[in-house]
Structure 1
Amino acid sequence: MAATPTKGPRGPESPAGNEVITGATLFAVVTLLVSGPLSILLGASGIAGDTVFVSNRYAYRFDLTAWGWLHLLIGVALVVAGLGVAAGKTWGRGAGICVAAISLITQFMFIPYYPAWSITVMAIDLLIVWSLARSSAATGAGL
C-alpha cells in the first residue's frame, strides 16, 4: 500500500518527510533562479564595457562599470534568495521579496540603457514579489 502525501506548509510532503515545492513558491524559486543568472550576465556585460548599452542624458546616469557591478551583486543575491526559498529556509521568502524589489528599482533606473530588457525584468521581479507574498500569506508564515 502506497503512502499518501500529507499537506505541509509549502505543499504536499513525500513519504520520506521531504516537502515538495508547489504553486506560487515553485514559481518564485524558478523565476529567482532564472532572473539571477540573467542579471549576472547583464552585469558582466556592463563590467566589460559592452557597446550594447547606450544612453543619452538621464537623471540616474552612472558609469557603465558601476551599473555592471550593481547588476552582478543583485544577480548573486537573487540566486542566493532562490536557493534559500527552495531549501525552505525562513529567511528565504523575505530575502527574495527584498532582493526582487531592489532589482525592480534598479531595472527602472536602467531603462534608458536597455529598455526592452529592463521592462521585461521588472515584470519578472513583480511576479516574484507577488508569488512570494502570496505563498507567505497562504501558509500563514510571517516575513
Structure 2
Amino acid sequence: MTNATQTPGRPAQHGGGGSAWASGGTMFAGVLMMVYGILGVLNGIAAIAKDDVYTHIGDYVFEFSLTTWGWIHLVLGVLVAVTGWGILKDAAWARGVGVGLAALAVVANFMWLPYQPLWALVSIAIAIFVIWALCTDRGRTSTV
C-alpha cells in the first residue's frame, strides 16, 4: 500500500510532498527567524539606549548613526520574529514575506559588516538558509 496522492496536472507526491530536508528546513527557518528577530530587537535596543555599545567607524559609505542602526534592527527584528511565528503557524502569507524579509536582512547585514563583522556574516548565512528553505519546500500548498 503506497501513500501517494495524485492531483490533476501535478506529479504524485509521497507522504505529504516535498523533501524531508525542505520540510524540516522550513520549520527550522521559522524558528531561526524568531530567534534572529528577537536578537535583532535586543541588538536594536542596545544601539538605541547607548550610542557607545558598538564601535564608531571612520568614513564608510553606508554610515548611519548608531541610533539609526538601532531603529533599523529593532523594526526589522520585530517584522522577522512575527513572520517566523507565521511560518511556524503555516500562514499562507508568511513564506513570501519571509523570503522578502530575509533578503532585506542580507542587505542590512552587509551594510552592518563594519560594526559587527562576525555577527553580520553569521546573520547573512542564516538569512540565505531561510531563503533556500522557504523557496524549496513544495509540500505545502498556498491559497494565494
Q: TM-score normalised by the shorter chain: which range applies?
A: 0.7 to 0.9
Aligned length: 128
Letter in 2 for 1:128: V
Superposed structure 1 runs of 4+ greater than 2 Å apart: 6-11, 49-52, 138-143
Task: Provide the rounded CA distance (Å) in 2 between the counterparts of 1:84 and 1:128.
Answer: 14
The answer (yes or no) to whether the contact 2:99–2:134 under 8 Å persists in 1 is yes
1:79–1:140 distance in 2 versus 1, CA, 3 Å: closer
Q: Which of residues 81, 86, 95 in structure 2 aligns to 1:79?
A: 81
Q: Write out aligned runs for 1:81-120 (5 A).
A: 81-120=83-122
SS of the residue 2:26 aligns to: helix
Shift of 1:104: 1.0
Shift of 1:7: 4.2
The answer (yes or no) to whether the contact 1:10–1:25 under 8 Å persists in 2 is no
1:9–1:47 distance in 2 versus 1, CA, 3 Å: farther
Shift of 1:45: 1.1
1:48-103 deviation line (CA, Å, top 9, x unaligned): 12423111210000111010000000000111111111111110100111111111
Letter in 1 for 2:139: T
Letter in 2 for 1:90: A
Q: Name which structure has the greater RCO, CA cutoff 8 Å, separation 6+.
A: 2
What TM-score does the superposition give when structure 1 sets the normalisation length? 0.80
1:47–1:9 distance in 2 versus 1, CA, 3 Å: farther
Structure 1, unmatched stretches of 5+, are 1-5, 12-21
Verify: 1:129 aligned to 2:103, yes or no.
no
1:104-138 deviation line (CA, Å, top 9, x unaligned): 10010011111111111111111111111111xx2
Q: Which of residues 54, 67, 70 in structure 2 aligns to 1:68?
A: 70
Letter in 2 for 1:131: A
Please name the residue that 1:38 is paired with.
39
